[in-house]
Structures are given as structure tokens and as C-alpha cells.
Amino acid sequence: MVGLWLYALHRRPREWADEQARRAGRRWLLFGGLLLPFGSIAVLLAFGIPAGHRLLPLLETEQIDVDALRLLGLFGSATAAWPGSTSPISTT
């Protein structure tokens, strides 16, 4: 990268005809302004979407039943109950 930078710094300026300058400008616009960003984003999405999908916590084919504790808190007191229980636990 440093070598390319030094080459670009020390090369002689090129004389462009009007048509060549327009063609070079269109080429920069097309390749550097449109194709490079779209191509980069497409490559990132092509690798990122499958990688992100593998990170998701997806359930297997069998369902897992999880009992959840129901908790209700009201201004200094709380009531908790397990699902299916008839007697909630209360604190004040």
C-alpha cells in the first residue's frame, strides 16, 4: 500500500484530451462510486447473514417447556406464584 501511495505521489501528471477525461470520469463514477460499494455490501451480506443466523438462539425440533415464576410488585409489597399453584406467596 505504501508503495502504491509513493508511486501515485511521484508520478508525472498525465495530459488528458477532453474525451479521455470524460471517459475516465465516467469510469471512476461507475467502478469506484457504484460497483465497488454495491459489491462490497453484497459480499458482506453474503457472509454476514449466514453467520448471524448461526448465532440466533433457535429452538430444536422438540419444544422445551419452561415454568416461569409470575411476580407482581406493588409499592413495597410483592406477590409471587408458580404456574398452576393455588397459593401465591405475598410479602409486604
Domain range list for the chain: 13-58+68-91
Rounded distance, CA 9 to CA 2, Å? 10
Which pLDDT belongs to residue 59?
63
Q: Tens of pLDDT along 31-80?
A: 989 999 999 999 999 999 999 888 887 766 555 555 565 555 656 666 66
Which is higher by pLDDT, 91 or 19? 19
Please tell me which residue, 30 or 66, carries the higher pLDDT value: 30
pTM (2 decimals)? 0.47
In sequence order, the 6+-apart residues with CB closer than 8 A to the CB of 67 are 82, 83
C-alpha cell at 85: 399453584
